[in-house]
Amino acid sequence: MKYLTNLDNPLDKPSVITIGNFDGLHLGHRKLISTVKELALAYHYESIVFSFYPHPHEVLKKDDFPGMIYSREEKRERIEETGIDTYIEYPFTKEFASYSPEEFVVNILIEKLHAKIIVIGSNNRFGKNQEGDVNFLKEREAKWDIKVVEISPVLDNSLIVSSSRIREELMKGNIEKVNELLTLPYIISGTIVEGRKIGRQLGYPTANLLPKKDRLYPPNGVYLTKTKYKNKIYNSITNIGYNPTVNGKNRVIETYIDDFCAMVYGEKITIEFYKWLRAEKKFSSLDELVQQLDLDVKTCREYFN
């Protein structure tokens, strides 16, 4: 997959393009991308996902935006897994937000990316004041010599599958519903950092990750997870929170990886979330905490077996 963050070198091959934020890469997004791939294969065109960074809400409505479902890197990895030819992460600025729909389509999609087919969701809005939509494009098909393919929203229990809905479910800790809408487990990836080593003293060493400012995370608590490290996957339990039993002051993401010995700071891991287990709790003693961890690990093994 080609990954572009600018269009200094325009593409020279006709293309099929879909545009959007693609945060989470949910069922609706996957329907758009699969359509792009099918059309690109049929016409021998380039398949392109055109997205933005940062998220438009971070630029235009920062105080009203809860955060991204996936980090920038996670989103790129998920899109690459779809088998798309080119992923464009175009810089979203207030200047870019002032582009009219016509300027965006003509100057960028057609002139620089040679768009011949635009695949767009029925509820997609783009351009200044969100004046562009599927009807705007269809009215100009002949003028711009393009074909517009409209994709209806995907429904789940009569509700539209959207990034906003997934954020709502994620904030409630409804991991199983989130995974259903994403089609894959919700993930948190990051580099292992050195912690306070209290878990190691208790017999439960953890791999610690630091939360990112622009990410949305599930509620504080303990989750049944799997952890990928160097292409091998292990059962794990993951705690998100402040470690109140040991007077923690900073929110951390810490994972106990079952049947795992090595722990290398600076290495990358990916944590897949499967189920909320329990709320974070302040235990009366470290012995009580260890007893609970024993139960958590037992539950984890039973769940995945």
What residue ranges do the domains of the chain occupy? 2-159, 185-304
Q: What is the dihedral of CA 52, 53, 59, 63, to 10 degrees?
A: 110
Q: What is the DSSP string of 250-261?
A: S-EEEEEETT--
Q: What is the DSSP letter of 126?
A: B
Q: Does domain 2-159 have CATH number 3.40.50.620?
A: yes
List, in sequence order, the alpha helices (H) in 218-258: none
Q: Which residues, other chains included, contact 86 with Cβ-Cβ below 8 Å and sequence gap of 6+?
A: 1, 2, 3, 4, 11, 15, 46, 47, 48, 49
Q: What is the dihedral of CA 233, 235, 240, 246, to 10 degrees?
A: -120
Which tokens in the block code for residue 120? Answer: 């767009």
Confidence of residue 203 (pLDDT cuts 50, 70, 90): low
Q: What is the mean pLDDT of residues 202-227?
A: 91
Separation in Å, CA 235 to CA 94, 207, 300: 44, 13, 7
Separation in Å, CA 105 to CA 14, 37, 110: 14, 20, 6
Same fold, 2-159 and 185-304: no
Q: What confidence tens digit (pLDDT) does each residue in 50-92 have? A: 999 999 988 988 778 889 999 999 999 999 999 999 999 999 9
- Which CATH number applies to 185-304: 3.40.50.300, 3.30.70.260, 2.40.30.30, 2.40.37.10? 2.40.30.30
Confidence of residue 247 (pLDDT cuts 50, 70, 90): low
pLDDT of residue 200: 65
Pair type for strands 147-151 and 115-121: parallel
CA 33 – CA 217 distance, rounded (Å): 26
Q: What confidence tens digit (pLDDT) does each residue in 69-78 have? A: 999 999 999 9
List, in sequence order, the alpha helices (H) in 49-208: 56-60, 72-81, 94-97, 101-103, 134-138, 141-144, 163-172, 175-182, 198-201
Across the chain, what does the average pLDDT equal?
A: 93
Q: What is the mean pLDDT of residues 19-35?
A: 97
Which tokens in the block code for residue 161? Answer: 């599958």
pTM check: above 0.75? yes
